Chain A
Amino acid sequence: MRHRLRDPVAGLLFVLPMLVLFLIFRFVPAFGAAGMSLTDYKISGEWTFTGVDNYARLLRDPIFLGSLRVTVVYVAIYVPLTVVVALGTALLLNSVIFLKGLFRGMLFLPYVTSFVFAGIIWRWIYDFDGLLNGLLGYLDLGPVGFLDDTALVLPSLAVVQVWKGFGYSMLILLAGLKAIPESYLEAARVDGASAWQRFRLIVLPLLRPALFFVLVIETIGAFQTFDMIYVMTGGGPSRASFNLIYALYDQGFKFFDLGYAATIGVVLFLLVFVVSMIQRRFIDRSAA
């Protein structure tokens, strides 16, 4: 690609509207929160500078440390699960023509609803005398306490979030699949490549930008899961699903310790940022 002089100016001009919005409404509040984490900010607006006191407190706070563990475990369960489901359904949709519009709409439907609704429905499904345990009963199994068992609660919640959210990633991956020229696949087919070879050697590499997007977005979403946990388990049982955002919410809006809440926010941000950077290195090595 040739270097063109007008590129820098044009580039900046194209970014400018978003840049202004971001500077005012994203960067300023983010720095505000980072600043608050160094104070004992009160609702009345009074504060004194407390340095790294809040950060030191984090290290001594067993509830925070527990929520850190819950968050990491949840992300490790949720992200692979949702990417596999989204990719699987996207591939299926891409290879079917019959009624595909209808199927796509059906698969996307859960994304349209709220977590409150999802929470109510899935509490029934997981209930001791709910749908799933009814099915298990036919097999002489159970009852299983999907939301009652400290070991099962995170996978169970992850399933709900996947159900609720995979339509989003599915649509994006589908758009990515559409961008792959049919002629490439046709050529490979002529060369006698198997379906798996076509997927691995052509589809997957070309899908990388979309896949990277999905991975980053879903990871961030998993770190920030809150509404569903709030509705379904309240962080329980015995804090087995009490994650960082929950801790942040409790400190900020239940106990009004705004400085400490901001500190948890900063830590969560750093955590997500580092993980995203690792993901980028991992994927961009062979792609972009």
Chain B
Amino acid sequence: MIDPWGSPMRKVVAAGLAAVLGAVLAGCGGGAGDSGTSTVTMWMYPVIEDQAKSRAFWDKVEKDFEAANAGIDVKVDLQPWEGRQEKVTTALVSKKGFDLVVLGPDQIPQYAAQGTIAPVDDVVADAKDAFRPSALAALTTDGALYGVPIYQTITSPIFDRKVFTDAGVTTLPTTWDEVKAAAPKLAANGVPVLMYPGAPETSLNLSFYPILWSYGGSVFAPDGKSVAFNGPEGVRALQMLLDLQAAGGLPANAATLTNVIEGGPLSQGKSGFYHAAANIGAVQLGAALGPENVAVGLPIQGTKRVAFGIPGGLVLAKASKSLEAAKKFAAYVASPEVSAALSKESGYFTARTDAKVEGRSATATEFEKSLEFAFPGDTHPLARQVMTLLSPEIQAALQGRKSAQQALDDAAKQADEQLAAAR
């Protein structure tokens, strides 16, 4: 007989128990609150692409703020984009985690409606005129501001110059009519003119909505009690897409294509342009095609020009134990100096007009021109639900299973039912 306790088994078990005990004890040390000073935890996301730069930037912000505000201890945690939804929600449910978090306008109405975030009107009160009106409007729900704008994004069309020249199109299109006219010429070379990303993973804000808006349409009726995307403007927008498709102007898999630039059809010379690209998309395209072949345009005009662009807002948790300190810090991050520095590091734009950013790249300067057309999308508590209802119907239209009118009507019917049920 062999004694099992003389075997390595014993060591393994002992190590396991020790590890468990250690973990439990380590756990007991955590979670204790400080006293005296108030602590502000902010969850920041990688808006500055390079992690080392990002860390250095926020360390400096922390230090500068703490130096000027004795008694406030600031902690900026850099969180991943992935799983942001789950992480922010679990934190809010358990009232643990952050005092401040960066959110886009689409999440704010729902968190506000469920009473988990606090208004921040007083933070911007002194400098209200300095912020872009569209940024403030985007972060406002039910008359209260729920996010302090710290940066602004913008989208613009990006073109592969070469495929247009090859097809004999010397001036890049600036209106949807010109796009339609160019479509057959590019199609003759086997190149679809518009990289339309119809996959449900890609937000409609970056695919269909900008076209809808450019034709003067809107997603919701002004009173927010019904949807309006199936009006004549919406049908015209979707029909324009279907006409483009009939003329060979959309990729064969447009219905399931995502808006990824790197490795996507645009960066392989297999598409003419994408109408709602971010700044970084142009950089990626330049890396793939050579910067000289990339052009950035103004938002394509239907009856008007509209560019999707949203602010990033610092949102305050209602359960925060240091509301005042958190507001102070939010005001500091949104100040002209810090937001100009953030803009420079991140490639995003500032959400205020009095912040001067020097030494921008040429691409960024091109994108900046679209800022005056910035529109943040409809801030409706059910905006996301409506999107998940509309997106599959547009896919159906692009795959030839439904007409423009029918697809939009079908989506509108479902959406109106949801809107009615939510009231």
Asked if A and B touch directly (CB within 8 angstroms), the answer is yes
Interface string of B74-97 (1 = CB under 8 A from A): 000000000001100100110100
Whether B93 contacts A45 by the Cβ 8 Å rule is yes
Whether B253 contacts A128 by the Cβ 8 Å rule is yes
User: When chains A and B are docked, how far (Å) is the Cα of A127 from the Cα of B258?
Assistant: 12
Interfacial residues of chain B within 85-142, with CB under 8 A of chain A in the complex:
85-86, 89, 92-93, 95, 110-111, 114-116
- Closest-by-CB residue of A relative to B255 is A237
Chain B nearest Cβ from A275, distance in angstroms: 27
- Closest-by-CB residue of B relative to A241 is B200
- A42 at the B interface (CB under 8 A): yes
Binds A, one of B32-40, B230-238, B388-396: B388-396
Whether A62 contacts B414 by the Cβ 8 Å rule is yes
Residues in A whose Cβ lies below 8 Å from that of B395? 236-238
Residues in B whose Cβ lies below 8 Å from that of A62? 414
With contacts A62-B414, A148-B399, A255-B384 taken as known, whether A127 is within 8 angstroms of B201 at the C-beta atoms is: no
The contact sample of 12 A-B pairs, CB cut-off 8 A, is A43-B92, A43-B93, A43-B111, A44-B114, A44-B115, A62-B414, A150-B399, A233-B201, A236-B392, A239-B392, A253-B86, A256-B110
Task: Count chain A CB atoms within 10 A of each CB in B116, B252, B391, B392 and give the residue with the most.
Answer: B392
- B385 at the A interface (CB under 8 A): yes
CB-contact partner of B396 in A63, A238, A250, under 8 A: A238
User: When chains A and B are docked, how far (Å) is the Cα of A62 from the Cα of B418?
Assistant: 12
Task: For the A-B complex with A42-B115, A150-B399 known, give 7 more contacts whose Cβ atoms are closer than 8 Å.
Answer: A43-B89, A128-B253, A143-B252, A148-B256, A233-B200, A234-B199, A256-B111
User: When chains A and B are docked, how far (Å) is the Cα of A283 from the Cα of B318?
Assistant: 54
With contacts A237-B399, A238-B401 taken as known, whether A148 is within 8 angstroms of B253 at the C-beta atoms is: yes
Chain A nearest Cβ from B207, distance in angstroms: 12
Whether A253 contacts B89 by the Cβ 8 Å rule is yes
- Closest-by-CB residue of B relative to A254 is B384
User: When chains A and B are docked, how far (Å) is the Cα of A62 from the Cα of B413?
Assistant: 12
CB-contact partner of B114 in A43, A150, A230, A236, under 8 A: A43
CB-contact partner of B116 in A43, A143, A236, A250, under 8 A: A43
Residues in B whose Cβ lies below 8 Å from that of A254? 85, 384-385, 388
Whether A42 contacts B200 by the Cβ 8 Å rule is no
Whether A237 contacts B256 by the Cβ 8 Å rule is yes
Residues in B whose Cβ lies below 8 Å from that of A42? 114-115
- A147 at the B interface (CB under 8 A): yes
Chain A nearest Cβ from B395, distance in angstroms: 5
- A145 at the B interface (CB under 8 A): yes
Residues in B whose Cβ lies below 8 Å from that of A148? 253, 255-256, 399
Chain A nearest Cβ from B105, distance in angstroms: 15
With contacts A128-B253, A254-B388, A255-B385 taken as known, whether A235 is within 8 angstroms of B115 at the C-beta atoms is: no
- Dominant SS among interface residues on chain A: loop
Whether A44 contacts B116 by the Cβ 8 Å rule is yes
- A182 at the B interface (CB under 8 A): no
CB-contact partner of B110 in A143, A236, A250, A255, under 8 A: A255
CB-contact partner of B200 in A45, A128, A236, under 8 A: A236
- A140 at the B interface (CB under 8 A): no
Residues in A whose Cβ lies below 8 Å from that of B392? 235-239, 242
Residues in A whose Cβ lies below 8 Å from that of B110? 255-256
Whether A236 contacts B252 by the Cβ 8 Å rule is no
- Closest-by-CB residue of B relative to A42 is B114
- A191 at the B interface (CB under 8 A): no
Residues in B whose Cβ lies below 8 Å from that of A239? 392
User: When chains A and B are docked, how far (Å) is the Cα of A46 from the Cα of B384?
Assistant: 22
Interface string of A252-283 (1 = CB under 8 A from B): 01111000000000000000000000000000
CB-contact partner of A145 in B256, B391, B396, under 8 A: B256
User: When chains A and B are docked, how far (Å) is the Cα of A45 from the Cα of B114?
Assistant: 9
Chain B nearest Cβ from A125, distance in angstroms: 13
User: When chains A and B are docked, how far (Å) is the Cα of A235 from the Cα of B270?
Assistant: 26
| Nearest 7 interchain pairs by C-beta | A234-B200, A234-B201, A238-B392, A44-B115, A42-B114, A236-B200, A43-B114
Chain A nearest Cβ from B358, distance in angstroms: 38
User: When chains A and B are docked, how far (Å) is the Cα of A233 from the Cα of B199?
Assistant: 7
Chain A nearest Cβ from B50, distance in angstroms: 21
Residues in A whose Cβ lies below 8 Å from that of B382? 255
User: When chains A and B are docked, how far (Å) is the Cα of A242 from the Cα of B199?
Assistant: 13
- Closest-by-CB residue of B relative to A255 is B385
Interface string of A77-117 (1 = CB under 8 A from B): 00000000000000000000000000000000000000000
Chain A nearest Cβ from B238, distance in angstroms: 15
User: When chains A and B are docked, how far (Å) is the Cα of A23 from the Cα of B251?
Assistant: 53
Whether A256 contacts B89 by the Cβ 8 Å rule is yes
Chain B nearest Cβ from A32, distance in angstroms: 12
CB-contact partner of A127 in B92, B111, B114, B253, under 8 A: B253
User: When chains A and B are docked, how far (Å) is the Cα of A63 from the Cα of B392?
Assistant: 11
User: When chains A and B are docked, how far (Å) is the Cα of A238 from the Cα of B115?
Assistant: 34
Interfacial residues of chain B within 223-255, with CB under 8 A of chain A in the complex:
251-253, 255
Residues in A whose Cβ lies below 8 Å from that of B95? 45
Interface string of A24-57 (1 = CB under 8 A from B): 0000000000000000001111100000000000
Interfacial residues of chain B within 354-396, with CB under 8 A of chain A in the complex:
382, 384-385, 388-389, 391-393, 395-396
Chain A nearest Cβ from B383, distance in angstroms: 10
Whether A236 contacts B199 by the Cβ 8 Å rule is yes
User: When chains A and B are docked, how far (Å) is the Cα of A134 from the Cα of B315?
Assistant: 49
Residues in A whose Cβ lies below 8 Å from that of B399? 148, 150, 237-238
Chain A nearest Cβ from B380, distance in angstroms: 12
Interface string of A129-156 (1 = CB under 8 A from B): 1000000000000010101101000000
Residues in B whose Cβ lies below 8 Å from that of A46? 115
Chain A nearest Cβ from B245, distance in angstroms: 13
- Closest-by-CB residue of A relative to B270 is A129
User: When chains A and B are docked, how far (Å) is the Cα of A236 from the Cα of B398?
Assistant: 13
Residues in A whose Cβ lies below 8 Å from that of B200? 233-236
Chain A nearest Cβ from B115, distance in angstroms: 4
- Closest-by-CB residue of B relative to A147 is B256
Residues in A whose Cβ lies below 8 Å from that of B114? 42-44, 256
CB-contact partner of B391 in A127, A128, A236, A255, under 8 A: A236
Chain A nearest Cβ from B381, distance in angstroms: 9
Residues in A whose Cβ lies below 8 Å from that of B116? 43-44
